[in-house]
Structure 1
Amino acid sequence: MSKKHVMYTAVSSVLLSSSLLLHSIDADAAESAKVTATSLNVRATPSTSGAIVGKITKGNTVDIVDESKGWAKITYSGKEAWISSQYINKTQTNSTSTANSTSKSAVVNASSLNVRSSASTSASIVTNLPRNSKVTVVKVSGSWSQVKTASGQTGWVASQYLQAGSASSAPAKDSGSTSSQSAVVNASSLNVRSSASTSASIVTNLPRNSKVTVVKVSGSWSQVKTASGQTGWVASQYLQAGSASSAPAKDSGSTSSQSAVVNASSLNVRSSASTGASIVTSLSRNSKVTVVKVSGSWSQIKTASGQTGWVASQYLKADSGQSSQPAQSIQITKASNLRSQPSLSAGIIRVAKAGERFKKVGETNDWVQIQYSASQTAWVSKGLTAAAGSTTSASLPSSSAALKDKIIVVDAGHGGYDPGTSGKSSIEKNLALTTAKLVASRLANSGANVFMTRSNDTFISLSGRVNVSEAKHADAFISIHYNASTSSSANGIASFYYSEAKDKELAKYIQESMAENAPSMKDMGVRFGDYYVTRENNQRAVLLELGFLSNAHDEQIVSSNAYQQQISTGIYQGIARYFAANK
């Protein structure tokens, strides 16, 4: 997922200066390679489930630090990162290291810069240099520079934190509150740190679209003030210029408190307005709460039992006085318009096909309110719906009959020397294979022609998986994975599509059915995902993430036989319902 950069003058000057420095010094002998993919994901770990930290476009040259099992280690933005070896073309570059007589002077352009024993973020730290320390650049290799300090010590530093020549010793300019700028977080989860360093302690964690005020820029870091008043440092590349007001969020106060209901399968209530805060309790869908205060994208609430805490506002909806009974599933009996409001004059979101199923969340007059997506509801004429499983809905095409002779490719992610992610006691490749076999069995028992990309612990390349899908002319390709995050609080299940026209509807059916069958898991909804097996697949394809192994609660659930039965049933039913509605 591409990141938009916030361009500040200070950041631009650092990048320009670093660029000049890199071009003025000869590179050391290194094994280089050119990127052959249109856009190559750079990942934090050597796995297709590793977090994407950036992208490199076709034709760019990278320096290979190391290689392991189909992955190449590179240095990206001063950190170790990994790219797939199958999308690079190696070339050997040889050049002479600069001699002392032609060495260049530079100054440190970071608040604190580690000097390491070798060109790697995992290498031991020789010393630490403060801003404006003068060094002599002896050699450049990739994105690293070998330097000699004023005290005679030698080591390696990230080139981006050096500036050619002798810079002013004045501290970086502080924009001050009078000229502060607004910005929004452009990453799924952004750590706010106590200082401008990836090794600094984490103050808090901000979700995507959180609004912040940029107080100061130093190198590639920005000092920000959050909506809740906390101050810390973030990587500037994960901020996007915004026009949000820096005024504090309006406090609704107890005199104007509002009632709301939970609009997620499970919602964590936290001790403060941060995903890193401790969990006070967890609320199920349709639980009633009182909103006491709103701050940024968070709401302070009081539960029915009297507990107080903070929740993400997006998972609350205004209480319309409906019963808090569990949501009922309804089925569309005839093609019908899904509207934004309970009125024939309201805007049409889309046309629902006969056989589609939704969760009913409300009703007024002759209209039924349904859960259209994880964050959006819609309205449909009551006369065009029936309770799922009723006589009326039973007259629709049989789900199992709709699968007869359909060609389904079930893809168990990872395998062989590629373990995927792992938890304390679980490995992704093993769980994925277990789930895939259960799904394949259920599909085959309903008359589908099922093919598995792997049925044992074997490594299959991404292109090999896609080849199976296209060679079999699959009616559906289902890739099964388990998730991970740097935040241990991340949890839930999600369905990913690449092509909105080709894949999204299938993903929607599967996600809805999984959420019905596995109510203990957070419903993260249907999302766009730029994954090779869906992007390069000419057949209908979805990728499923069935829980976070980095979350202790999720790992415990997904490892159980009960969950494996529930989630495989949900996937099977979702596929069946899709084909029943699209005969």
Structure 2
Amino acid sequence: MNTKKLNAATIVSLCLVLVFSMFAVIPKAHASSTKLKVTASALNIRTAPSTSSKVITTVKKNTTLVKVKASGKWYQVKYKNKTGWASAKYLKTVKTTVSTASTTSKIVTSKTDNLNIRKSNSTNSTVLGKLNKGKTATYIQQKNGWVKIKTSSITGWVSATYVTVSTKKATTAKPKITNAKKNLYFVVTAKSLSVRSEPNSKSKLLAYVKKNESLLISRIASNDWVEVTYQTGKKGWVSTHYGTQKVKEPTTSSITVVVPKKTTYYYVTEPTGLTIRNSYSVNAKSLGQIVPFESKVQILKQASNGWIYVNYNDKKGWINGSTSYGFASTTNISFTAKKPSKTQYFVMRSGTLNVRSLPTTAAPSLGKASKGNYFKILRISNNNWVEVQYTSKQKGWISSNTTSSKITTKKPTTTVSDSVKGTLKGIKIVVDPGHGKQDNGASGNHVVEKTLNLKAAKAIQSAIEEVGGIVYMTRTTDNQFLTLDERAAYAKQKGANAFISVHHNSGPSSATGYESYYSTSAKVSSKKFADAIHDGIKDAIKEEYPNYKDRKLKAMDYYVVRYNSVVSVLLELGFVSNASDAKLVNSNDYRETVAKGVVNGLLSYYGRD
């Protein structure tokens, strides 16, 4: 055999093998399938594109078919496991919707308050900050029982024991919203949860709800948010990551009901009384009976969400046993009280005495009366306690069984509530610089909100003290931090008359101006107080900065004003997200102007101007 011919044949064979091999590994291309919908009441699918061909099957109107190819006025289609031809006249192309791209990331949620965020995955490493219960952070990695996270300001490690790691889907598409099943409730598991105007965390904040509150769900969004009724006639959205959903009222798996071991009474201190309902929820049906102010009822059963089962006027049902509306005690308190026959005054001669919600030491303290204070007596009880107007909106009882006080018919010259022109002597104000420590608040244009809040609050403190007022600061450095619960309770703890929370705003770069907020849901009405403070600030700013925008006084249930025991207001003094605002609010002149306005508002409200 000729060697050259053999080599040539071998080469040709190898080339053919390579060519076929190349074709073998090339995947078959698939065109995207087109879907067709049947428009006729019934449509025949045939063996060929002709009305004379055999009918394979008949499909009904709105059936979806897959298009294979076209031939004239006929389409070859697939239906289930059959392929055939159908008249194009009775088929309509279904438009396909391209779904919005989404990304998936993990979030870390703290199961406890004050969880340490450490520099490395060891209990011996440096603490960089804290993560409170219900707060979230971005997941980075997990190692040896520790989880690395990133917050808005800190990257560090937390113990995996005290967090949950979950998948969070982020998508630009609007969530699908559907109506909820009948009698579906959302039970809050976080200590405090935001209610928002839309099903996302960036929408307007409407209010806060507290742990164990049971809220009726009206609608459900596909992005893990639900619309709830948080007050009578008011609805908003909450994240389902911070609660559980239950059909009908929550069972003992979320709320437990117990009978007190000792005979326990509940004393109503809510002036409007408490409605008896058929279950332990504000959404439950009213039974048409009110337990009035200063009534005593025995607690027959108690739910873990604070509601109590009672019997009043032969009507058994549930009332809200919150400490905001009364108090529980094993002491059987009985008293009678009447107005004095002539005007009398209660005068503090020395020391301090508690002002209580009822004339007994078993009742909780509302605050304290100190040396130099005096009050007009409203009622005197049979056990020698006197009822006084403790603040402009709040009444309370003080014991007259001590040598620290006296009762007189002669009006004293100074008092907490007496009008002394141009001075706030005796008035106690809590000034609350918002945020602090690990919580920076908003930031932008080289300023951080927590620092601005503290500087403005200190200016307000100085201005109040200059006219004789007493100021209690919730924090005095940027390394201190109080929870919302602790801030809201601070005025009651200190026996203060009012509460002012200081903040700075954030929003679009074009947003500008100052505004103030009060709560319409708080036990103590703060509208007049907030009006006086905002008007004082407005007049002071108008004089020094006539073009700076007044964004008005607004009603909003921010936690620290909603759950406060005294008149309160929350101030937003400018936008850190606006370059001009940021420069203005970071100046001592502006802070002093605001402080002057606050003092003028206080003087006006307490009749000292």
TM-score (norm 1): 0.35
Q: Max radius of gyration: which structure?
A: 2
Q: Which has the higher contact order (CA 8 A, sep 6+)?
A: 1
